[in-house]
């Protein structure tokens, strides 16, 4: 359980009293506390019952779905209270090109040794993957706690998820604790998830997250602002925060 103590916390509730440790984000809010992704006015941070670093991999075998942008913004969100690393497995180095400009995010060079990832000194490690890294996806999924699969809302975009979902199902058989979810990304205004798209996701057995990410200029400028949290786009911040919250909830944090 990851909890952030904010300025309006009840002073009678102490973070060191393990008997009061909240079971979920809802209980945290009911007590007047604030979870990680409610990042305003925080004073201090404690990590409860955290046995190891959590690894979140962003993957899809189709290109152009916004994996790198999502990876960067999730890292920026988590980095406002946690030790966060980001690993770019893309040889084109989309993220490595801005590593010196990342604010509070540690860039982790990829040396191909996936077994070493669990030794990293972070609370959360975000892994960005290129669309062509098919042969290494099973190995990446084997060390991941959560896999985020971005997709556009288009019919053919959703159909392209099938291969990635099959990899995830195979990984689940070997590692039942692995969690994953599909997030609809780059959603244009007034775009509805039609029945055909929903049926495709259901047929694939894909878990669709409730959070959606809009098609906004601030996301395309993320590389210049170290994520949307360096911009004045409050709506984008809310979307990324909501996605981070949902991932933590799925992980049981």
Are 79 and 197 members of one domain?
A: yes
Q: Quickly list DSSP for the chain.
A: -EEEEETT--TTS-TT-GGG--SSHHHHHHTT-EETT--TTEEEEEE-S--S-EEEEE--SSSSS-HHHHHHHHHHHHTTTS-EEEEE--TT-TTGGGGGG-SSEEEE---S-GGGGGGS--SEEEEE--TT-GGGHHHHHHH-SEEEEEE-SSHHHHHTTHHHHHHHHHHHHH-TT-EEEEEEEEEPTT----HHHHHHHHHHT--EEEEEEE--HHHHTHHHHTSGGGSS-HHHHHHHHHHHHHHHHHTT-
How large is the average pLDDT for residues 28-56?
47
Are 41 and 104 members of one domain?
A: no
Are 39 and 103 members of one domain?
A: no
Give the separation between CA 90 and CA 238, rounded to whole angstroms: 28
pTM for the full predicted model: 0.79
Structure tokens at 191: 């775009």
Q: Which of 14, 29, 47 is the last residue of a domain?
A: 47
Q: What is the CATH number of the domain that holds 209?
A: 3.40.50.300
pLDDT confidence bin for 89, thresholds 50/70/90: confident
Question: How many separate domains does the chain show?
Answer: 2
Q: What is the mean pLDDT of the chain?
A: 79
Are 36 and 69 members of one domain?
A: no
pLDDT confidence bin for 133, thresholds 50/70/90: low
Provide the Cα torsion 21, 180, 110, 117; round to 10°: 40
Predicted pLDDT at 28: 42
Q: Which residue has the tokens 């770019």?
A: 88
pLDDT confidence bin for 78, thresholds 50/70/90: very high
Mean pLDDT highest for which of 36-45, 46-55, 126-135, 244-253? 244-253
pLDDT digits (tens, 9 = 90+) for 214-253: 999 999 999 888 899 989 999 999 999 999 999 999 998 8
Residue count of the chain: 253
pLDDT digits (tens, 9 = 90+) for 189-213: 877 766 777 788 888 888 899 999 9
Strands 208-214 and 146-151: unpaired
Hey, how many other C-beta atoms are within 10 angstroms of the C-beta on 136?
15
Domain that holds residue 15: 2-47
pLDDT digits (tens, 9 = 90+) for 46-71: 333 344 799 999 999 888 899 999 99
Mean pLDDT highest for which of 3-17, 81-95, 127-141, 162-176? 162-176
Are 105 and 167 members of one domain?
A: yes
Are 82 and 28 members of one domain?
A: no
Are 32 and 75 members of one domain?
A: no
Are 91 and 190 members of one domain?
A: yes
Are 65 and 25 members of one domain?
A: no
Predicted pLDDT at 165: 92
Are 78 and 31 members of one domain?
A: no
Give the separation between CA 29 and CA 24, rounded to whole angstroms: 9
Predicted pLDDT at 226: 84
Classify the C-alpha dihedral 95-101-107-110 as positive or negative: positive
Are 30 and 76 members of one domain?
A: no
pLDDT digits (tens, 9 = 90+) for 138-172: 889 999 999 999 999 888 888 888 889 999 999 99
Are 34 and 95 members of one domain?
A: no
pLDDT at 34 over 70: no
pLDDT at 125 over 90: yes
């Amino acid at each position: 359980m990851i909890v952030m103590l904010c300025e309006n916390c009840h002073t009678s509730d102490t973070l060191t009293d393990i008997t009061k440790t909240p079971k979920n984000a809802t209980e945290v809010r009911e007590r007047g506390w604030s979870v990680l992704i409610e990042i305003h006015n925080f004073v201090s941070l404690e990590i409860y019952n955290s046995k190891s670093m959590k690894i979140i991999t962003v993957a899809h075998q189709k290109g152009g779905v916004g994996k790198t942008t999502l990876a960067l913004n999730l890292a920026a969100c988590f980095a406002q209270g946690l030790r966060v690393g980001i690993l770019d497995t893309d040889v084109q180095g989309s993220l490595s090109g801005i590593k010196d400009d990342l604010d509070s995010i540690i860039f982790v060079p990829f040396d191909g040794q996936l077994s070493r990832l669990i030794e990293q000194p972070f609370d959360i490690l975000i892994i960005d993957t290129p669309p062509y890294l098919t042969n290494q996806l099973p190995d990446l999924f084997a060390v991941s706690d959560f896999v985020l699969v971005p997709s556009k809302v288009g019919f053919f975009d959703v159909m392209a998820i099938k291969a990635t979902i099959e990899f995830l199902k195979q990984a689940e058989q070997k590692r039942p604790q692995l969690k994953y979810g599909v997030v609809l990304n780059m959603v244009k205004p007034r775009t509805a998830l039609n029945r055909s798209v929903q049926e495709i996701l259901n047929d694939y057995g894909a878990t669709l997250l409730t959070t959606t990410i809009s098609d906004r200029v601030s996301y395309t400028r993320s590389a210049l602002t170290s994520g949307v949290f360096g911009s004045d786009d409050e709506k984008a911040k809310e979307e990324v925060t909501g996605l981070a919250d949902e991932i933590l909830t799925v992980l049981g944090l």
